[in-house]
A and B are shown apart, each in its own frame.
Chain A
Amino acid sequence: ATQNSGTDGPPVRGGNLTVAVPTDPQSLDMVANPGQVTAQIGNMMYEKLFEVDRDFTARPMLVDNYTTSQDRLVYTFTLRKDVTFQDGNPLTAADVVASLDRWRKAHRTGQLVSPDIDSITAGDPHTVQLRLKRPRYPIIDELASPGTEIYEAKNLAGLPATGFGQDKAIGTGPYKLKSWDIGQQLVLQRYDGYKSRSEQDWGGQAGAKHAYLDTVTYKVVADQDALVNGLQTGQWDHAMPTNDQYESLKANPAVVVHNLPGGNENVIIPNFTKGSRFADPRARQALNLLLDKPAINAATGGSKDLTIETGAFASPDNKSFYSTAGEDVYRQHDPARAKQLLAEAGVPAGSTVHIVTTNSYPEFGKWAVLLQDELSKIGIQTKIDTYDFATMLGTLTKDPAGWDLTTLFFDSALTSPAQMPALTLGTLNGSSSAELDALLAQFNASTNADQAKSTVDKLQDLTWRQLSVITLSQSRLYAAYSPRLKGYDNFYRIFWNSWLAP
């Protein structure tokens, strides 16, 4: 399989694209349900004021243009006039206000941003005013982040915390919901009333959108083998298999594999809570010294193409957040010193480390196994408890001091520190600190990109000093799809501007 080159030929209108997704989206409400599949489908249906381009930079989408006051406290957004929702109603400022209000209250990012917001109000039907309490540098990026999709105000009135049902899944995007057989498949259909922006070249989720495909069918395929087999036998045109499958798919001429922008940050999370074996910073340093990250990555990453040996919390594709600060700490490896440090921190050889992990994602279990092996080499015993994901979270939060290590991965393509799980893990492992809060405030107060970038470096450096997470690597994502799928060289989540060759 080869990477897509620019020789896709002229776009063809029509046809149905079948996409395999690992779970049912469960809800199409992107505020109530931050799941990946919901996002993947929701991005086809909904739009935000701003959207990120292929460099993860925010660009206007529903906003025609906007102004910022001198003191950087008042933003005035002018909405595009011709935009209609998929039920035919025009987009109004009231819809934007209602959607963003809900985001502030109910979405995790919104909640983090909210303290800085004074008000969001509608000027006239096509202007919205956002007043801040203090300047906030990433506010536009945050308005381009998941959760800020604009829904109709009338659909948001009186919603429970569980969000809205499929009857209210109406946005302004190029595709609308056609049918949904729960647990089986979901079909999107071209929204004929969609008015595209005129720009062509922003990439990512931004810019012009052309709906060439008549329909997009999302099939729920949980089983990895089924996923790969169906891909090879043409039962679906597009899937995102696990990294294990990468090499064999790459070798298969019937399938195209394609690396996607962004990725996952793979982390081991030590518990800071008193009572944990890693409450002592020396123990965390020791752990970092102990881990042979390249070896672990080799055993779990699947392919060199997919593994980025970096300790950064953001993807290298994410220009404004990718930082190499602390890279030297990331690369340290010294088991002997680790053993000594652990002993100093009160974790001598022979003690037992309690790892809680899940089998819901295969990688987690693998890391746990490799961790166990490395710990055993310096005489530390391990007790691994494997639960399903929901139970793991329950176990971690119910008894905050009852565990020592856990494993997770985070989306590394996000656009503001508020969205970076690696920086907001305080509730889980007790790693919040004044220093972190101060740095975050400093970032928010930045006035320009350089200033922001230097704060990101400090944040990254702090992470490696504090070791609130120990990053193993970044995994790149990839899509595998039928060679008939053309014009698909953008973000993995979206199929506008793509078409099926006849």
Chain B
Amino acid sequence: MRRNRTLVLATGALGLIVLIVLVLPVFLPSVSATDPVHRLLPPSAAHLLGTDSYGRDVASRLVSGGRASLGLSALITVCAAATGLVIGLVSGFFRAADAVLMRVMDAWMSFPAIILAMALAISLGASLWTELIALTVIFTPFTARVIRSRVLAVASRAYIGAARVSGMGRWKTLLVHVFPNVLPLALVQVVVLAAAAMLVDGAMSFLGLGIAPPTPTWGNMIAEGRSYLVTAPWLVVVPGVTIMLCVFLLNLVGSALRQAVDPRARTLHELQRLRTRTT
């Protein structure tokens, strides 16, 4: 089936990237070895993706930056999606909790994200953990709100009442009836989050709030390289395209995955194929 092929291909590609990022740094020259004589070299056999302004090998940095970038966005996604999902589910389903939780989320969200990030980055120093905390804190309420709006719709369905009549506890109903009906949206949210995390990580580095150099991340590679956009465009293009590729693949995986968990979407898809075929 076509969907499955996309899923397999995209997952495979992502897996390959993860593998490269995990394994390859062992074999590559050190990421922090500077070599001012050979700075800003264009891509060549010795330096597959050229060198940066310190004369460091861009390829090694790209690969090892992937560890931080991918790892970080995965962590952020997991943390923010999990907390957002829990808060969204609970507040959409329990009216009493909703009033409090949503006000807290509102206050939380109306607190400018950038201040939060800066406050954290500045007071704790820019590092992986600060960024993780900052981005999780920033993303959680957004996820929570999106999830909650769907939960509200699901909660008004008669089958929720039916579950109650069947003696199912509220929490279990939440888990068994509400959660699966929210799951497709949550999956989309996960992909959105992963993508956003990767992009915001870049933006944070760009603002000097992310993981601090010399530890490479794709974001701070772009930030460092941007002074050389004209003279050494590969410094910006390479990590930029890598981010795009990863986010794009994530998107593909997400939508394929969503169809896998949602039986209705599956038949819809078959339907569409059939209609396309018959006419």
Chain A residues proximal to chain B, CB less than 8 Å: 224-225, 242, 244-245, 247-248, 295-296, 298-299, 359-360, 362, 365-366, 369-370, 372-373, 376, 384-388, 391
Q: Does B39 have its Cβ within 8 Å of any Cβ on chain A? A: yes
By the criterion CB–CB under 8 Å, are B54 and A370 in contact? yes
Most A-side CB within 10 Å, residue of B55, B118, B126:
B126
Which of chain A's residues has its CB closest to B211's CB? A386
The distance from the CB of A347 to the nearest CB of chain B, in whole angstroms, is 20
Q: How far is the CA of A366 from the CA of B53 in the complex (A)?
A: 10
Given contacts A359-B212, A365-B213, A369-B34, contact A225 B229 (CB under 8 A): yes
Q: How far is the CA of A36 from the CA of B6 in the complex (A)?
A: 57
Which of chain A's residues has its CB closest to B33's CB? A373
Q: How far is the CA of A372 from the CA of B212 in the complex (A)?
A: 13
**Chain B residues in 8 Å Cβ range of A388:** 118, 122, 208
By the criterion CB–CB under 8 Å, are A244 and B53 in contact? yes
Q: Does B267 have its Cβ within 8 Å of any Cβ on chain A? A: no
B210-228: contact bitstring with A at CB < 8 Å (1 yes, 0 no)?
Answer: 0011100000000000111
Partner of B227, one of A245, A295, A370, A387: A245
The distance from the CB of B15 to the nearest CB of chain A, in whole angstroms, is 32
By the criterion CB–CB under 8 Å, are A248 and B231 in contact? yes
Q: How far is the CA of A365 from the CA of B231 in the complex (A)?
A: 21
Given contacts A372-B214, A386-B126, contact A296 B36 (CB under 8 A): yes
By the criterion CB–CB under 8 Å, are A386 and B231 in contact? no
Chain B residues proximal to chain A, CB less than 8 Å: 32-34, 36-37, 39, 53-55, 118, 122-123, 125-126, 208, 212-214, 226-231
**Chain B residues in 8 Å Cβ range of A369:** 32, 34, 54, 213-214
The distance from the CB of A285 to the nearest CB of chain B, in whole angstroms, is 23
Q: How far is the CA of A391 from the CA of B120 in the complex (A)?
A: 12
**Chain A residues in 8 Å Cβ range of B214:** 369, 372-373, 384
By the criterion CB–CB under 8 Å, are A298 and B227 in contact? no
**Chain B residues in 8 Å Cβ range of A372:** 32, 214
Given contacts A369-B32, A369-B214, contact A386 B208 (CB under 8 A): yes
A-B residue pairs in contact (CB < 8 Å), sample of 22: A224-B227, A245-B227, A247-B231, A248-B230, A248-B231, A296-B36, A298-B37, A298-B39, A362-B227, A369-B34, A370-B54, A373-B32, A376-B32, A385-B125, A385-B212, A386-B125, A386-B126, A386-B212, A387-B122, A388-B122, A391-B122, A391-B123
Q: How far is the CA of A385 from the CA of B123 in the complex (A)?
A: 11
Which of chain A's residues has its CB closest to B208's CB? A359
By the criterion CB–CB under 8 Å, are B125 and A373 in contact? no
Most B-side CB within 10 Å, residue of A242, A296, A359:
A359
**Chain B residues in 8 Å Cβ range of A244:** 53, 227-228
Q: How far is the CA of A295 from the CA of B126 in the complex (A)?
A: 27
Q: How far is the CA of A459 from the CA of B55 in the complex (A)?
A: 36
By the criterion CB–CB under 8 Å, are A387 and B125 in contact? yes
**Chain A residues in 8 Å Cβ range of B54:** 299, 366, 369-370
B interface majority secondary structure: loop
Partner of B34, one of A362, A370, A391: A370
By the criterion CB–CB under 8 Å, are B227 and A242 in contact? yes
Q: How far is the CA of A376 from the CA of B33 in the complex (A)?
A: 9
Q: How far is the CA of A298 from the CA of B55 in the complex (A)?
A: 10
Q: How far is the CA of A244 from the CA of B123 in the complex (A)?
A: 30
Q: How far is the CA of A225 from the CA of B236 in the complex (A)?
A: 13
Name 6 extra pairs, CB < 8 A, besides A244-B227, A386-B125: A248-B230, A299-B36, A365-B212, A373-B214, A376-B32, A386-B212
**Chain A residues in 8 Å Cβ range of B122:** 387-388, 391
**Chain B residues in 8 Å Cβ range of A365:** 212-213
The distance from the CB of B237 to the nearest CB of chain A, in whole angstroms, is 15
**Chain B residues in 8 Å Cβ range of A299:** 34, 36, 39, 53-55
Which of chain B's residues has its CB closest to A392's CB? B122
The distance from the CB of A298 to the nearest CB of chain B, in whole angstroms, is 4
**Chain B residues in 8 Å Cβ range of A360:** 208
Given contacts A359-B212, A386-B212, contact A373 B34 (CB under 8 A): yes
Which of chain B's residues has its CB closest to A385's CB? B125
The distance from the CB of B147 to the nearest CB of chain A, in whole angstroms, is 35
By the criterion CB–CB under 8 Å, are A295 and B36 in contact? yes
**Chain B residues in 8 Å Cβ range of A296:** 36
**Chain B residues in 8 Å Cβ range of A245:** 227
The distance from the CB of A110 to the nearest CB of chain B, in whole angstroms, is 32
By the criterion CB–CB under 8 Å, are B212 and A384 in contact? yes
